[in-house]
């Protein structure tokens, strides 16, 4: 099946009087149909530049891009009706209700107003649809923004940091919404720095750093390629935990004493070394388990940076879409 989104060797350099800044340096990405795909990268790594370039808002310096099998930006007008995107801050009139807002956007986009109640339902705003937007919480405004992108029933929905600024309840609502949209057959591309969320929501991910793809694949594959390097050690009952920790530290390990009888050990050459070091001192283990990496571990390992609460960039844009296979149609 043709990927919904393909990017190959994308390059973009911003030039100003102060000099040139390489934002994208041969970036590649593939998003398969039906996936919720996470787009991760440290601040300034090129995520927004990628999304804006895809949507024809920025002109690239090189590389190829295709949406729904059609090469863009040339065929953007053909696909525009099937891609919903939110890459800018939402600018809704506070005095309008959600219903009025969406009705006006439907008119502007040539969409039948009859679609409005359906999208309000989809994002869970039906009950509040007749209230003014200025009375909405941030999470509700985010959902209204998603509703606006859903008006034309897109095949692909692109969202830049949709959970930004939301509290845990709002993040959970957004997660459920993404899952529901995916279950309805929509492909969703989601940039975020909330890695635990991405791990929960996404089927696959691309990680970008300094304008280049540094890893991509299903979440399970990406995690499987990386282990945290730490192991959990459970000692026999009545073992001197501090003594065991001291022995391992003397051998260069980093040891955290956890709950009774349990240690977390890092920086050892392998589980066998732990077993040997402790057995030599007649301390025995009853369990030794590698600790699986999570997406945050992988991100930190690959990008060498901690994700920072990002800019509050959100909402309201438009879209593109359609075509058959491959490049250059
Ligand atoms: N209009 C611009 N002019 C000059 N440089 C820019 C412009 N927009 C972005 N950049 C630079 O390009 C690089 C990539 O920025 P971009 O906004 O694409 O990153 P990002 O991954 O979306 O970051 P964040 O997570 O902080 O939103 C950064 O070094 C940024 O400073």
**pLDDT for 126-135, tens place per residue?**
999 999 999 9
Please determine, for residue 310, whether its predicted confidence score (pLDDT) is greater than 80: no
Assess if residue 304 is contained within a domain. Answer: no
Same domain? For 217 and 253 the reply is no
Assess if residue 168 is contained within a domain. Answer: yes
- The mean per-residue pLDDT over the stretch 248-266 comes to 89
Question: Which is higher by pLDDT, 306 or 78?
Answer: 78
Compute, in angstroms, the gap from residue 147 CA to the centroid of ligand 1: 27
Q: Which of 223, 269, 220, 217 is nearest to 248 (CA)?
A: 269
Compute, in angstroms, the gap from residue 141 CA to the centroid of ligand 1: 25
Of 199, 224, 249, the residue that ends a domain is: 224
Of 202, 224, 246, the residue that ends a domain is: 224
Same domain? For 166 and 236 the reply is no
Q: What three-state secondary structure class fits 100? A: helix
Per-residue confidence band for 294, with pLDDT thresholds at 50, 70 and 90: confident
Please tell me whether the peptide bond between 73 and the residue prior to it is cis, using omega within 30 degrees of 0.
yes
Same domain? For 115 and 174 the reply is yes
Q: For position 293, what pLDDT does the model report? A: 74
Compute, in angstroms, the gap from residue 132 CA to the centroid of ligand 1: 34
Same domain? For 84 and 201 the reply is yes
Contact 245, 257 (CB under 8 A): yes
Per-residue confidence band for 173, with pLDDT thresholds at 50, 70 and 90: confident
Q: For position 313, what pLDDT does the model report? A: 31
Question: Which is higher by pLDDT, 102 or 177?
Answer: 102
- The mean per-residue pLDDT over the stretch 273-300 comes to 85
Per-residue confidence band for 315, with pLDDT thresholds at 50, 70 and 90: very low
Q: What is the CATH number of the domain that holds 72?
A: 3.40.50.300
Please determine, for residue 267, whether its predicted confidence score (pLDDT) is greater than 70: yes
Q: Which of 67, 68, 75, 132 is nearest to 99 (CA)?
A: 132
Q: What is the CATH number of the domain that holds 255?
A: 3.30.70.270
- Nearest C-alpha to atom 31 of ligand 1 is from which residue? 44
Assess if residue 298 is contained within a domain. Answer: no
Same domain? For 39 and 136 the reply is yes
Same domain? For 157 and 33 the reply is yes
Q: For position 312, what pLDDT does the model report? A: 32
Range of weakest confidence among 12-21, 272-281, 301-310: 301-310
CA angle centred on 155, ends 93 and 217, rounded to 5°: 110
What ipTM describes this predicted complex? 0.97
State if pTM tops 0.90. no
- Nearest C-alpha to atom 8 of ligand 1 is from which residue? 49
Assess if residue 319 is contained within a domain. Answer: no
Same domain? For 119 and 193 the reply is yes
Same domain? For 234 and 183 the reply is no
Of 178, 204, 224, the residue that ends a domain is: 224
**pLDDT for 86-120, tens place per residue?**
887 667 899 999 999 999 999 998 899 999 999 99
Percent of the chain exceeding pLDDT 90 equals: 47
Rounded Cα gap, residues 33 and 232, in angstroms: 38
Same domain? For 20 and 115 the reply is yes
- The mean per-residue pLDDT over the stretch 264-280 comes to 85
Same domain? For 205 and 108 the reply is yes
Rounded Cα gap, residues 293 and 171, in angstroms: 23
Assess if residue 154 is contained within a domain. Answer: yes
Compute, in angstroms, the gap from residue 43 CA to the centroid of ligand 1: 8
Assess if residue 312 is contained within a domain. Answer: no
Give residues (CB < 6 A) around ligand 1.
14, 21, 23, 41, 43-49, 310-311
Q: For position 317, what pLDDT does the model report? A: 29
Please determine, for residue 305, whether its predicted confidence score (pLDDT) is greater than 70: no
Same domain? For 212 and 245 the reply is no
Assess if residue 325 is contained within a domain. Answer: no
Please determine, for residue 290, whether its predicted confidence score (pLDDT) is greater than 50: yes
Q: For position 50, what pLDDT does the model report? A: 96
Question: Could you tell me the residue range of the domain that residue 250 belongs to?
Answer: 228-292
Q: For position 39, what pLDDT does the model report? A: 94
Count of domains observed in the chain:
2
Highest mean pLDDT among 62-66, 141-145, 166-170, 290-294: 62-66
- The mean per-residue pLDDT over the stretch 163-185 comes to 83
Rounded Cα gap, residues 145 and 148, in angstroms: 5
Assess if residue 302 is contained within a domain. Answer: no
Q: For position 170, what pLDDT does the model report? A: 80
Report the nearest atom of ligand 1 relative to the CA of 12: 12
Q: For position 303, what pLDDT does the model report? A: 77
| Average of per-residue pLDDT values in the chain | 85
Same domain? For 242 and 197 the reply is no
- The mean per-residue pLDDT over the stretch 45-58 comes to 93
């Amino acid at each position: 099946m043709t990927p919904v989104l393909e990017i190959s060797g994308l390059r973009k350099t911003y030039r100003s009087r102060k000099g040139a800044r390489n934002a994208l340096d041969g970036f590649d990405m593939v998003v398969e149909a039906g996936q919720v795909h996470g787009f991760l990268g440290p601040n300034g790594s090129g995520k927004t530049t990628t999304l804006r370039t895809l949507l024809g808002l920025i002109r690239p310096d090189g590389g190829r891009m295709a949406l729904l099998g059609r090469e863009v930006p040339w065929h953007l007008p053909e696909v525009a009706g099937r891609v919903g995107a939110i890459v800018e801050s939402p600018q809704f009139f506070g005095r309008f209700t959600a219903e009025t807002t969406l009705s006006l956007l439907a008119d502007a986009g040539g969409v039948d107003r009859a679609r409005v109640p359906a999208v309000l339902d989809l994002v869970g705003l039906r009950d509040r649809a007749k209230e003014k937007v200025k009375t909405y919480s941030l999470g509700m405004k985010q959902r209204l923004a998603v509703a606006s992108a859903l008006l034309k029933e897109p095949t692909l929905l692109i969202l830049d940091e949709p959970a930004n600024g939301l509290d845990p309840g709002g993040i959970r609502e957004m997660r459920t919404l993404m899952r529901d949209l995916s279950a309805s057959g929509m492909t969703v591309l989601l940039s975020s720095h909330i890695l635990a969320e991405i791990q929960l929501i996404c089927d696959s991910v691309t990680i970008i750093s300094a304008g280049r793809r540094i890893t991509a694949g299903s979440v399970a594959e990406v995690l499987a390629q990386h282990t945290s390097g730490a192991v959990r050690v459970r000692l026999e009952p009545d073992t001197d935990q501090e003594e065991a920790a001291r022995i391992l530290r003397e051998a260069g390990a980093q040891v955290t004493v956890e709950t009774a009888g349990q240690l977390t050990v890092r920086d050892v050459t392998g589980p066998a070394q732990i077993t040997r070091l402790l057995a030599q001192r007649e301390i025995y283990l009853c369990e030794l388990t590698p600790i699986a990496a999570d997406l945050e571990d992988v991100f930190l390992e690959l990008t060498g940076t901690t994700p920072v609460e990002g800019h509050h960039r959100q909402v309201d844009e438009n879209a593109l879409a359609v075509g058959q296979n491959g490049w250059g149609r």
